[in-house]
Structure 1
Amino acid sequence: MPSTPPPPRPPATPFPGPPGGPGAATFAWALLPLVVPGAGAPLAFGIAAGRRPTAATVAPAIAYTAVFLGFFALILPFDVGETPDWALWSAFVLMVASTFGAAVHLLAVRRHVWAPRSPAPVPKPVPAGDWVAPALDQAARLREDARRLAEGDPSLAKRSGVGRPDRPRRLDDGGLVDLNHAPAAVLCELPGFNAALAEQVRERVERLGPFQSLDEVIVEVGVAPGFERHLREYAVLLP
């Protein structure tokens, strides 16, 4: 087990803003609709929505994109030279309105879009052991709660998967193992157990029925004295 948890990865901050606020280069971005009439407005607001995805940037990006597509919807249905005057004038008005309107709009939201971002807080290193003890205490409390459930309502404990890590669980039992029902592969994970000891437990339960106490397990199976404390910590006996 590592002595310290892995440090959290700092969040990425694409398109970092200038340290002192919006710079002169952002004026070129705001005037993009004048440089590229029609396509400049959705392009500039697309950049704004990518950097600062709020209602003030996403909604205009959608609106100016719709206007840009509307321009072609008015022109393309007709053959060259046969476009009616109303379609030409409508397309012209859309183009002029989106070009100059978007430039003014971008200048108005320039500070909002390019405001400098607060630097991400640097995570403090966690001293060794500071996170281990609370985790162990939490697991011990979970085991104690699961034991009380097993004593008070064994049927519910079985349905909830107490002591059966090989089955889907409905609650966290802190790592308990039911010696009377868990398969040999699970019993092998207990401290002091091996494959032969696990099979011995399974054969004994199948032959004589469930164990009634941990003392009975320790005497009949022959658990090494050095592992008795660990067995009492992690073993549970459901009827």
Structure 2
Amino acid sequence: MTAPQRVSARSRIAGIWYFWVALGTVGMFAVVPFAHAAQRLRRRSAWVWVGVYGVVDIALFAMTSLFKDLEDKAPLGFIMITVAVTACFQLRTLRREVYGLPPGPGEPAPAPIDPAVAQVLAARRRREEARALADQDPLMARELGIGRPDLGLAYDDGGLVDLGSAPADTIARVLGLTGPEADRVVAAQGRFAGVDEMLVLVDLPIGAWDRIRDRGVVVRA
């Protein structure tokens, strides 16, 4: 039998601000913690809640103006409290996912992630980290070989390719481009400072743009 997971006091308060915002503003800024969770989780369903509570918050602000001159504000107060409490209930799971907390009492543990999915997500996180490093410290990025799998260095960047310095065969292999398409990218090296700028300069199939944005990086000289 598996021993229950012990949760530290620090873990218990991680992300508690989600509830403070929802309750402290009586639901009027409930969209804020949902937006934070969506940005961290990068999941479409989380962004749906951002849209829902964005509309709800706009409606609350509009209703506040409408009820301003009325003596009986009880209906508005009831609606705002309902929104705040509902938001807190829905934020429980999101908070645990964002801050890596175990499920609460009576809540089912999350289903195990398929190893193939976990591998893709891990590579995506490594690409994001490598991009951030390349943006903050280009010199270190070059020493680590970010975006240069052809150099055979040890750093794992999640499968990036440096559009500004990698050879054509490497660009073609990582991005799934043809030889002539990769040659056009190499011919434009030095004339663009970012992936989107490269897409404007170089004639490449639109169908390849998503993969180029996902795997491409431009490490500044």
Q: What TM-score results when the alignment is normalised by the length of structure 1?
A: 0.43
Kindly indicate which of the two structures has a greater share of residues assigned to helix.
2
Structure with greater Cα Rg: 1
Which structure has more relative contact order (CA 8 Å, sep 6+)? It is 1
